[in-house]
C-alpha cells in the first residue's frame, strides 16, 4: 500500500465529515448490564469478595455499541437486529429510542432470548461476568423479517457495517442477499467478523483482531511473515477486500485489496478498560472511509477513537471532539512508524 502524506488538517476535515454520513449497522445486539459497587470484605460462605452494590446501569452492547459510537461520532445511523420478546428486548428498544435511533429495524422473536451480559464492577475493575444468550442461527420468519428490514434501511444508507458476534443473527442467507444488493448499488460494506468470513465475500473492508484472524484462517501469527500469510489466506476467502488487523496497543496493520501492507502504530494511552474498543474502531474506520478518507487516514482516526474509549470504564463511546483532541498524538505515532519502517 502506498503511503500517503498524513496531515492533521486533512484528518480533522474527515472527522468533521462524519456528520454527513449515513451508516446502517446490522448484527448481534446485546444488553450490557452493570452492577457497580465496593468490596470491603470476603464472604464467610466462600473465599469470594462481597460486593456492596451501589448502583446499576444498562447500555447497548455488541452491534448496539457500534450504533452508540456511530451516533456519538455525529453520523446518522439506522439499525437492524433480532431480539427476544422479553424485558431485555424492551430495554434495547428503549435505549435505541433514547439515542434517537428508530427501532423499526429490530425484529422481535419470542422463541429466542435477548443476549444479556451482566458485569459486576468494583474498584474500577470487573470482578465477574455472567451471560444469558443463544447462538442458534435465526431461521424462517425472523430471517425473512430481518432481511426485509435491512433492505428497506439500505435505501437511505451510504454504507453498512456487519457486526458479527456469532450469536446467530447474521444468518448466511441474509448476509449474502444484503451484500448482493450493496454491490448492485456500489455501497461500502464493512465487516467485524467473529468466526467465519464465508458469507461476507464481496465486502469492502474486514476488521479482525489478531485472535480472530487466527481463528478465521487456522494459522498461528507470531511474526510479520505469519501475519501476511494469514491475511493473504483471508483475502482469498473474501475474493479481495481491504483487511485491517487491530493489534491492541500496537495499533493496526493494513492490507489493501492488492495485498500491499502498511503498519499504523497507535500512540500510548492510559488503559482502564479495552471492552468495546473494537466496536469503536469499526465505527470510526467505516465513517472515515465514507467521509472520503484513505485506508491509512481512516486507521489513524480509528486509533485515536480507540484511544479515547480505552481510557473509560465499561463499553464507551468517542465524540468528534474527543477524537479531534487525540488526533495529534495518533498522527505523531503514525508518522513515527513511517520513519522507522
List pLDDT tens digits, range 106-161: 999 999 999 999 999 888 788 899 999 999 999 999 999 999 999 999 999 999 99
* Three-state DSSP class for residue 329: helix
Angle, vertex CA 183, rays to CA 109 and CA 142, nearest 5? 10
**Do 74 and 18 touch, CB atoms closer than 8 A?**
yes
Q: Which residues, in sequence order, are bridge partners of residue 82?
A: 107
Reported as a pLDDT band with limits 50, 70 and 90, residue 315 is low
- Mind listing the pLDDT tens digit for each residue in 233-273? 999 999 889 999 999 888 999 999 876 789 999 888 665 54
Place of cell 484528518: 11
Contacts of 274 (CB under 8 A, 6+ apart): 248, 310
Reported as a pLDDT band with limits 50, 70 and 90, residue 67 is very high
- Mind listing the pLDDT tens digit for each residue in 328-340? 999 999 998 776 5
What pLDDT does residue 271 have? 54
Distances, alpha carbon 165 to alpha carbons 14, 65, 74, 204, 312, in Å:
29, 12, 25, 19, 22
Contacts of 4 (CB under 8 A, 6+ apart): 294, 296, 297
CA dist., res. 149 & res. 172, Å (int): 16
What pLDDT does residue 149 have? 98
Name the superfamily (CATH) of residues 9-38+51-340: Ribokinase (3.40.1190.20)
Q: Is the dihedral of CA 256, 257, 258, 259 positive or negative?
A: positive
Mean pLDDT of the chain: 92
Which residue out of 28, 158, 273, 279 is catalytically annotated? 279
- For the chain, the structural domain boundaries read 9-38+51-340
What pLDDT does residue 181 have? 97
Q: Which residues, in sequence order, are bridge partners of residue 160?
A: 24, 189
Reported as a pLDDT band with limits 50, 70 and 90, residue 275 is low
Q: Which residues, in sequence order, are bridge partners of residue 159?
A: 23, 188
Cell of 240: 479481495
What pLDDT does residue 340 have? 59
What pLDDT does residue 2 have? 52
What pLDDT does residue 240 have? 87
* Three-state DSSP class for residue 221: coil
The answer to whether 158 is a known catalytic residue is no
Query: Average pLDDT, stretch 218-230?
Result: 95
Is the pTM here over 0.85, yes or no? yes
Closest CA to 81 of 132, 131, 26: 26
Residue 196's H or E segment, with its range, is none
What pLDDT does residue 115 have? 97
**Do 288 and 297 touch, CB atoms closer than 8 A?**
yes
* Three-state DSSP class for residue 129: strand
Amino acid at each position: 500500500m502506498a503511503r500517503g502524506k498524513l496531515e492533521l488538517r486533512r484528518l480533522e476535515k474527515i472527522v468533521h465529515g462524519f456528520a454527513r454520513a449515513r451508516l446502517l449497522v446490522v448484527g448481534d445486539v446485546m444488553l450490557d448490564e452493570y452492577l457497580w459497587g465496593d468490596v470491603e470484605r470476603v464472604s464467610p460462605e466462600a473465599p469470594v469478595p462481597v460486593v456492596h452494590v451501589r448502583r446499576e446501569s444498562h447500555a447497548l452492547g455488541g452491534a448496539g455499541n457500534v450504533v452508540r459510537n456511530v451516533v456519538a461520532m455525529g453520523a446518522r445511523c439506522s439499525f437492524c437486529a433480532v431480539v427476544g420478546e422479553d424485558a431485555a428486548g424492551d430495554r434495547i428498544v428503549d435505549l435505541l429510542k433514547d439515542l434517537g435511533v428508530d427501532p423499526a429495524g429490530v425484529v422481535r422473536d419470542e422463541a429466542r432470548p435477548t443476549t444479556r451480559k451482566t458485569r459486576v464492577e468494583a474498584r474500577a475493575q470487573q470482578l465477574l461476568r455472567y451471560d444469558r444468550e443463544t447462538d442458534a442461527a435465526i431461521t424462517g420468519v425472523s430471517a425473512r423479517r430481518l432481511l426485509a428490514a435491512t433492505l428497506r434501511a439500505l435505501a437511505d444508507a451510504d454504507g453498512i457495517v456487519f457486526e458479527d458476534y456469532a450469536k446467530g443473527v447474521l444468518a448466511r442467507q441474509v448476509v449474502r442477499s444484503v451484500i448482493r444488493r450493496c454491490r448492485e448499488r456500489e455501497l461500502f460494506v464493512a465487516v467485524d467478523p467473529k468466526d467465519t468470513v464465508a458469507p461476507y465475500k464481496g465486502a469492502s473492508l474486514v476488521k479482525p483482531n489478531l485472535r480472530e484472524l487466527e481463528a478465521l484462517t487456522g494459522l498461528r501469527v507470531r511474526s510479520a511473515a505469519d501475519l501476511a500469510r494469514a491475511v493473504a489466506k483471508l483475502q482469498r476467502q473474501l475474493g479481495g477486500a481491504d483487511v485491517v488487523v487491530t493489534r491492541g496497543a500496537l495499533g493496526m496493520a493494513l492490507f489493501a485489496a492488492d495485498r500491499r501492507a502498511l503498519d499504523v502504530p497507535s500512540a500510548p494511552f492510559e488503559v482502564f478498560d479495552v471492552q468495546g474498543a473494537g466496536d469503536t474502531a469499526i465505527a470510526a474506520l467505516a465513517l472515515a472511509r465514507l467521509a472520503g478518507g484513505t485506508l491509512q487516514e481512516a486507521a489513524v482516526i480509528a486509533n485515536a477513537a480507540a484511544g479515547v474509549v480505552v481510557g473509560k470504564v465499561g463499553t464507551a463511546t468517542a465524540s468528534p471532539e474527543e477524537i479531534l483532541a487525540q488526533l495529534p498524538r495518533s498522527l505523531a505515532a503514525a508518522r513515527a512508524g513511517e520513519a522507522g519502517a
